[in-house]
Chains A and B, each alone.
Chain A
Amino acid sequence: SQQGEEDPQALSIQEGENATMNCSYKTSINNLQWYRQNSGRGLVHLILIRSNEREKHSGRLRVTLDTSKKSSSLLITASRAADTASYFCATSSSGSARQLTFGSGTQLTVLP
């Protein structure tokens, strides 16, 4: 079953605009990761934020984590047409289990 819910399910913006995607989850986590997927194939790891972190940056990406609300957001600034893809959040739950539990994803379309 899916741990997380992401919203919006689909987002369409103009090149240069910022894109914000949100993720909510249900159980306590060790860390939360964001992945990108093109054309329904392999996933590319974007960024990981630990449960004791509140914000993290990587290039044009900014991730926030609010463990009290069990939610995270991914912000892509100055979007490009090449950012068009599906974006998934994935959580690693507390305890020994290391498998990731994925949200249902946000389909981002950046229009040139």
Chain B
Amino acid sequence: GAGVSQSPSNKVTEKGKDVELRCDPISGHTALYWYRQSLGQGLEFLIYFQGNSAPDKSGLPSDRFSAERTGGSVSTLTIQRTQQEDSAVYLCASSLVVFRTTSDTQYFGPGTRLTVL
């Protein structure tokens, strides 16, 4: 079916407000990832969901960041009390993880550009 989709495509918010970013992975993909890309930089890993396992939150930069994945499909990344340094493009990816292999390709969504004023 369709690729990974993300909404909104752009979000402008004021410092201190909370924001929610949404990701719809490719149907049937068991793994979902969130990354952040600051201007002119590479991607920074944030969080990883795989099936019903506890998520790997090791990349979250602070406790203001959290993410959920409901029903093993759609995911929401929430940033509370946004700061100007949170401004970045937030990218979601999904993959079909095949256990005992090391070759799962990640498919990326178009990203959400977040601007914190």
Q: Which residues of A contact B (CB under 8 A)?
A: 2, 4, 30-31, 33, 35, 40-45, 48, 50-51, 88, 90, 92, 97-105
Contact = CB atoms under 8 A, between A and B. Distances in A.
A31 B98 CA distance: 14
B43 interface: yes
A100 B103 contact: no
Given A30-B103, A42-B109, 4 more contacts: A31-B103, A40-B111, A98-B104, A100-B106
Interface string B57-70: 00100000000000
B110 A42 contact: yes
B103 to A, nearest CB: 6
Nearest to B107: A45
Contacts of A100: 33, 35, 43, 45, 106
Contact of A50 (B42, B45, B102): B102
Given A45-B107, A98-B31, A92 B43 contact: no
Query: Which of B31, B41, B106 has most chain A Cβ within 10 Å?
Result: B106
Given A2-B42, A43-B91, A99-B45, A31 B102 contact: yes
B97 interface: yes
A42 B43 contact: no
A102 B42 contact: yes
B33 A99 contact: yes
Nearest first, the 9 closest Cβ-Cβ pairs linking A and B are A30-B102, A102-B42, A42-B110, A102-B43, A43-B108, A99-B45, A104-B42, A42-B108, A99-B48
A53 B43 CA distance: 25
B52 interface: no
